[in-house]
Structure 1
Amino acid sequence: MPHDHPAPPAQTEWPDVDLMRRYVRIQERREDGLVAFEFSIGWPELAVELLLPARAFEEFCAVNRAVVLTD
């Protein structure tokens, strides 16, 4: 008796990714001098939230050659 197995899921086509592309999206410049922002590599839609002092944020962006995204 043959076993019916479900078909494997269709593979999702992902766009090419350039891991050298870095992005930041500023969420808030706080009164205490901290900058809340999202950081992503390759895909701007997939990000982590970070919090740095303003000077460290500017250095972080320079080191990563980050593109600042605006909504």
Structure 2
Amino acid sequence: MTQPVNPTVELPACDIARRFVRIKETRPDGMVSFEFAIGWPELSVDLMLPRPAFEEFCVAQQVQRLND
């Protein structure tokens, strides 16, 4: 039996217009391993792109870089 969700629990606001990138590693072969998040920087996915594609991705997504 599932427990009902408590409707009084306040979740942090999620602004889906905010996009975040945290670089994890730049490999010798030019690949950039990074975390990408929408809304909440704590909830991310791991991605990997060649450096030029990564830079284009960041511009297209208008990201805030978290570790620059």
TM-score (norm 2): 0.87
Q: Which residue of 2 aligns with 1:4?
A: none
TM-score (norm 1): 0.83
Q: CA RMSD of the aligned region, Å?
A: 1.7
**Structure 1 consecutive aligned stretches of length 4 or more whose deviation exceeds 4 Å:** none
- Change over 3 Å in CA distance of 1:20–1:9 after alignment to 2: closer
Q: Quick check: which has more Rg, 1 or 2?
A: 1
Structure 2 residues without counterparts, runs of 5 or longer = none
Q: Percent identity?
A: 53
Of 18, 23, 28, which residue of structure 2 is paired with 1:21? 18
Q: How many residues align?
A: 65
Structure 1 residues without counterparts, runs of 5 or longer = 1-6
